[in-house]
Amino acid sequence: MSEHLTKTGARNVFYGGSAFFFAIFVALTAHSHYYIKTTSTDETALTDAVARGKHVWEKNACINCHTLLGEGAYFAPELGNVWTRMGGDEDVESTRETFKAWMAAQPSGIEGRRQMPQFHLTGQELNDLSEFLRWTSKIKTQKWPPNDAG
């Protein structure tokens, strides 16, 4: 056996390895999409209010300060589980009112604490945003965030 890799052998290793790892990449991508579609998200719970709430989230660039399921800026708390932290689904209306009151109280004015701006959202926008955050709290995140504080 030759101790040196020939040009043909090197080409075969390159093309064979590239094809093998490309196939692995495609398989893992397909598996991820299948998992998201069938396991982690409840598409039946996607209402118009959830879609409008996502629009409020995007319009006000909340992701520039907050993270949502680990994506976004780490300046302010994770909001993937904020619905649960504020009371959750045991009393939906009470949790929604707590969320609205908290948003209305911003900026809090607490010395030494980062301040969230007042966005002057309408009641409808607050309801829609709360529905969006309620929907995100039900996504199966494989134990993310790692702590309840977000």
The predicted-structure confidence for 31-72, as pLDDT tens digits, reads as follows 999 988 888 878 888 999 999 999 999 999 999 999 998 899
Residue 6 has pLDDT above 80, yes or no: yes
Q: How many CB atoms lie under 10 A from the CB of residue 63? A: 14
Joined together, the tokens standing for residue 43 give 């598409």
Paired residues of 78 in beta bridges = 67
The per-residue pLDDT for 123 is 95
Query: Nearest-CA neighbor of 100 among 78, 81, 69, 127?
Result: 127
Q: Is residue 20 part of a domain?
A: yes
Average pLDDT, the chain: 91
Is 128 inside a domain boundary?
Answer: yes
| Domain housing 26 | 8-40
Residue 136 confidence (pLDDT) above 60: yes
Residue 11 has a pLDDT of 96
Domain count, the chain: 2
Specify whether 122 is located in the same domain as 76. yes
Element containing residue 72 per DSSP (H, E): strand 71-72
